[in-house]
Chains A and B, each alone.
Chain A
Amino acid sequence: MLKRIFTYFVAASLLLALHGCSSSKHECRRVAVVISTLNNPWFVLLGESAKARAEELGYEAVIFDSQNNSSKETEHFDNILAAGYAAILFNPTDADGSVVNVRRAKQAGVPVFCMDREINARDVATCQILSDNFSGCVEIGKEFIRTVGREGKYAELLGLVGDNNTWNRSRGFHTVVDCYPGLQLVAQQSADFDRNTAMMVMESILQAHGDIVGVFCGNDAMAMGAYQAILATGKAEQIKVFGFDGEKDVLNAIKEGKIVATGMQSPVLMARTAAEFAHRYLSGDHDFPKKIPIAVHAVTRENIDQYLE
């Protein structure tokens, strides 16, 4: 009995799936939004903003989640190209690993617009709309010097060590901070862009280096985790925390004076720009700059009010 119901179920779902494909083949008003991961609110916002803007412009938009996995992403591209989407708004999982996917899309005549993260090839994506992580962290570095001073020990929490942005951010920060020999980096550890990991790593760092005066975190989730650990040891006054991304939690924390500064990225702006470019492309305008950097601003207590609505 169960078996028969199961068979019907499978048959029914197959039929539905087939129906979904056939109706779309001749209608090329669909846009695919491929996002590196939906396990992070920042990327969810990026994806949803792109989808929303594309829908405003009259397209049907579907979000694909690559789950931080390049081979998953390749499967998505297979399906997208087979299903005949008109354009791809793309947030790559990997600067090198994603190049081949974008190249295949180009060969199939489907334009790809990269958002936020870069791919290491100049000629395959129609346009790359990128967050300027490096310069953003230069700004954070300056803010660090301004509030922490030119002397003392500090720590750094890196994101995923295999991620381009982790190192872009770290390098940007260090171009400024390394100019001051009085500032001594006593711990540089990875916390995987994750709040809970950051808290645990920070707890351990505080055991070894209770005398640090600042910590730079490669994203806001880690900044919140680090702050939580610092708060528990009663050193919130002594240790200044810096983040990056512009997440809502951290903006509130800056307002309350818990976190000193973060880099405000503009996922909504990047996503909307990508969707609008796709629309322009599909309307016949094929002339785009290869790269458009979107500036990242330092948010501090002084200018926080313009970022909190």
Chain B
Amino acid sequence: MLSKSIFRIDRSILRPLVALLVMALAMSFLSENFATSDNFFNVMRQVSVNLCISVGMTLVILTGGIDLSVGSILALSGAVAAGLIKTGISCEGVNLYVSFTFFGVVVVALLVGAFLGWFNGLMVTRFKVPPFIATLGMLTIARGMTMLYTNGHPITGLGAQFEYLGTGWFCGVPMPVLVAAVVVVVFALFMRKSPWGRYIYAIGGNERASRLSGISVNRIKLFVYTMAGLLSAVAALIVTARLDSAQPNAGSGYELDSIAAVVIGGTSLNGGKGSIWGTVIGALIIGVLNNGLVLLNVSPFWQQVIKGLVILLAVIMDRMSAKEQA
């Protein structure tokens, strides 16, 4: 009963779903290497990072906000994780050295991400900075702090546990995919089953009305930005593990891929309308496109043009369906 309602397909995601299927079908006709189980897991692994970020982005966009800082938060959390596992913390004055276990590192990285997200939320709620500006500020702050922390150099060679997270398998599923799947299911459940999930939609639909009906809008906004930061840190752990290296310029431009996934998945940039499952499909569409165009050896110049066109097409289709319903 429970599972049925989590996986219940909204009518609004039908169109992106059809688009995904058509695209996958076309790719498998065009390239014999597309529809193989190897390539399936390959695409899933590649999508998992964007997916984690995009789930957080969906929450933020549903409230009518936006988060441009996800890529930079990813870079900083990843760098902190890599730095701590590699060298720990040492205070020379008091002769103190703290080394970190893998789980310790994971917890700290998640806290860093959550804190930066919370800071975004604080700017938006307490200081009334428009989300676009608040997170734009964080985009450069977190990137700069990453540069400070790493001195602009990658941190490499992170040990067996990170390697397992990046390249290992668990019960026949690659670890990055497993992590992303857990994130998706938890948040899909949260959005559907908890009152806060409903409030997120309500705020995006009509903030004033929500406030008047007793929803503590600020607390929920603080929560969604914190979650966006936290999920960027989850994505950071995956990226860092997959590369066995934290790159100071990791994640630059990821906010755009993530916003694209959310929008292609049918979530309205005005907030109040959309779903986590739509975003999953949006992220898969982008993943299939990235993978398929390389399989077909399409020129890198054309790839950019094609990706842009697909995003536009998806939104146009969505707008048309919205009009039909109205």
Contact = CB atoms under 8 A, between A and B. Distances in A.
Contact of B46 (A39, A195, A203, A221): A203
A98 interface: no
Contacts of B38: 207
A48 to B, nearest CB: 9
Nearest to A161: B300
B42 A204 contact: yes
B36 interface: yes
Contacts of B33: 207-208
Interface string A185-198: 01111100011100
Contacts, number: 80
B297 A195 contact: no
A205 B33 CA distance: 10
B311 to A, nearest CB: 19
A10 interface: no
B154 A44 contact: no
A158 B303 CA distance: 14
B243 interface: yes
Interface stretch (B88-96, B100-108, B262-270, B287-295): B287-295
Interface stretch (A21-29, A110-118, A173-181, A224-232): A224-232
Interface string A142-172: 0000000000000000100100000000000
A232 B248 contact: no
A199 B300 contact: no
Contacts of B45: 203
A203 B42 CA distance: 7
Contacts of B252: 39
B85 to A, nearest CB: 17
Interface residues of A, number: 30
A232 B249 contact: no
Contacts of A44: 151-153
Interface centre among B42, B167, B294 (most CB of A within 10 A): B294
B134 to A, nearest CB: 16
B244 A228 contact: yes
B301 interface: yes
A269 interface: no
B242 interface: yes
B156 A40 contact: no
Interface in A24-78: 38-41, 43-44
B258 interface: no
Contact of A199 (B153, B243, B294): B243
B167 A204 contact: no
Given A194-B249, A208-B33, A224-B245, A188 B297 contact: yes
Contacts of A196: 239, 242-243, 247, 250
Interface of A: 38-41, 43-44, 158, 161, 186-190, 194-196, 199-201, 203-205, 207-208, 221, 224-225, 228, 232, 249
Which 10 residue pairs of A and B lie closest in terms of their CB atoms, listed nearest first? A44-B152, A190-B300, A204-B294, A39-B249, A41-B153, A208-B33, A207-B39, A208-B295, A207-B33, A204-B291
Given A203-B45, A204-B42, 13 more contacts: A39-B152, A41-B154, A43-B152, A158-B300, A187-B294, A195-B245, A195-B247, A196-B239, A200-B46, A204-B290, A205-B294, A221-B247, A249-B245
22 contacts: A39-B152, A39-B248, A39-B252, A41-B153, A44-B153, A187-B294, A190-B300, A190-B303, A196-B242, A196-B247, A199-B242, A200-B290, A203-B42, A204-B295, A207-B33, A207-B34, A207-B39, A207-B291, A207-B295, A208-B295, A221-B247, A224-B245
